[in-house]
Structure 1
Amino acid sequence: MSIEWHTLDREPSLPGLYARAATRRKITGTQLPDDGLRCWVDVNGQKLAAYRKVCGFADDGLLPPTYPHILAFALQMQLLTAKDFPFPLLGLIHLSNRIRVLRPMGGISRAQVGVRVHNLQPHSKGATFEVLTTLDDQLGPLWEAESQMLCRGVKLDGEPVERSWETSQVLTQVAQWTAPADIGRQYAKVSGDYNPIHLSAASARLFGFPTAIAHGLWNKARTLAALADHLPKANLEIAVHFRKPVRLPSAVSLLASAPGSSGELRLIGAGDLEHMVGQWQPIA
């Protein structure tokens, strides 16, 4: 499929996009748009420092491996609330996320973000698609990611194909932390992601959750911050699958294999409840 790229001269404004998302509740089709959005963005030092603090990253002079998602968030919002996007943004479920750090992300003050969607597939609960996000500097590609999203209630022909996510290596506990009751609001302030399911028990109940749950990408960011000494700084692919949500507040434990170029991880809660599983490896 050929992509028609639209280049914006500035980042979209989030308040208007949230208003658009709030008024769209219906599925309007089963075909993804074949265009993408690009935009140059500036890296704000104060915002980056606030993100590091909320997610637990040390200031090592590099962008955290999850930070390009923050730079791309407004562009993703614009794409997923456009008239030709067929699914309502509110209610989408983030199933998995794969990040590839192609080169060390140091000394970056300005970069180009690109976003598009593809790979619509049947699922036992609806349909999945992927949001593809890229980050480039003047030298070329730096980083890329795929986020698999589920839209419930979509009817597609074909047999659902479920991904297998199992750990096979010996894992030991490397960290523990508490996700406090207000971490959804803290993360929203540094990410722009004010999805109601993360903000309070009252707003989460409107979408069928008994209490607020942590952002999936906060869980991943907090995990990668804890694994900073385990992971290479570049030529790195990190894939995770989100399983049971982290209800707020909750204590969690991170298990991982030994430091190295490849390995596996599990984020678990009380009673060995599995919140997230994943692996890291060199980019093929």
Structure 2
Amino acid sequence: MAGPTDLALTRPPSLAPLLARGALLSPFKRPGPDAEFPRTRLVLPGLRVDLARLAAYERVCGFPTGENALPVTYPHVLGFPLAMRLMSGRDFPLPLLGLVHTSVTVTRHARMPASDAYELSVYIEGLAPHRRGTQATVVTEVRGGRDVVWESRSTYLARHRTHHLGGTARETEARKPLPEVAEWRLAGDVGRRYGAASGDRNPIHLHPLTARLFGFPRAIAHGMWTVARCLAAHGVPESCHLRAEFRAPVLLPGTVTYAARDGRFELRGREDRIHATGDVYPV
């Protein structure tokens, strides 16, 4: 099968109209692993980082501020508007409403100065059956010059009835819980602060009233915030590979436990419920 066709952009897409379009089209989507999906790679050359937004992101996630270097998770924020343009379109078969970010893997090949210009590209790699529905994989790549300096794969799950029997429930890990490092009390405005810094103003993250419309008792933290906060506390090698899975939502306000050992980390809630888990190591 031929690879995606490049479509060059002149500016990052605006997120608000994309989220609105995706919400309006969601009831008409017919998700399934065999559905057609966009075969376009969106490319944004000459991208420069808004340093004020970067500083706001660093503060809400706990990264050091004022350094001429992008946090390892920040390119995901840069690529998110392009991913939303693809996933909010008529030709994307999964409904944007209710789409769940289930995992992310990142490889950073080199230090990324915040003052440099980059080329950003995003495309949908494919769809796959999942025991709870259909999962899409979105690939983001960042180039500095001709070289890929950062790349990621994010999986997004649309839940629907399925006859897929190829997988069982998530394997229960036999590993012992990681040792506690810190307890974090999360304010109710974390979702709003992260939304302002990242541009991801999904209503489930902003206010209890809007979160209740989607079945949550309170606002929930962004999954990428939970991972970024863990990595800010853990520390990340300059060239690294990381993997994280989002297991359960973090309600805001709330209290969570950050635990880590060697290259592994996790975020736990009450009764040791796992919210996020992952690992990071040098490459």
Identity %: 39
Q: Which residue of 2 aligns with 1:77?
A: 84
Decide whether the 8 Å contact of 1:166 with 1:277 is kept in 2.
no
3-state SS of paired residue (1:6): strand
Map 1:163-242 → 2, pairs under 5 A = 166=173, 168=175, 171-228=178-235, 231-234=236-239, 236-242=240-246
3-state SS of paired residue (1:91): coil
Decide whether the 8 Å contact of 2:102 with 2:156 is kept in 1.
yes
3-state SS of paired residue (1:24): helix
Q: Which residue of 2 aligns with 1:9?
A: 10
Map 1:23-42 → 2, pairs under 5 A = 23-26=24-27, 27-28=29-30, 30-40=35-45, 41-42=47-48
CA distance in 2, matches of 1:85, 1:154: 18
Q: Which residue of 2 aligns with 1:111?
A: 118
Q: Which residue of 1 aligns with 2:260?
A: 256
CA distance in 2, matches of 1:164, 1:111: 39
Deviates more, 1:213-222 or 1:69-78: 69-78
RMSD (CA atoms): 2.0
Could you report, residue by residue, the CA deviation over 1:140-179 in whole angstroms, capped at 9, with x for unpaired residues? 1110111111101164767247765847478322232222
Decide whether the 8 Å contact of 1:167 with 1:277 is kept in 2.
no
Stretches (4+) displaced over 6 A: none
3-state SS of paired residue (1:54): helix
**What is the number of residues matched between the two proteins?**
276
Decide whether the 8 Å contact of 1:5 with 1:38 is kept in 2.
yes
Decide whether the 8 Å contact of 2:57 with 2:198 is kept in 1.
yes
Q: TM-score, structure 2 length as denominator?
A: 0.90
* Distance apart, 1:216 and its partner CA: 0.1
3-state SS of paired residue (1:17): helix
* Distance apart, 1:48 and its partner CA: 0.8
Decide whether the 8 Å contact of 1:121 with 1:156 is kept in 2.
no
Decide whether the 8 Å contact of 1:122 with 1:158 is kept in 2.
no
Q: Which residue of 1 aligns with 2:269?
A: 269
CA distance in 1, matches of 2:126, 2:167: 13
One-letter identity of the residue aligned with 1:270: R
Q: Which residue of 2 aligns with 1:43?
A: 49
Structure 2: tracts of 5 or more residues without a match: none
Deviates more, 1:168-177 or 1:139-148: 168-177
When residues 164 and 120 of structure 1 are mapped into structure 2, their CA distance, relative to the original with a 3 A threshold, is farther
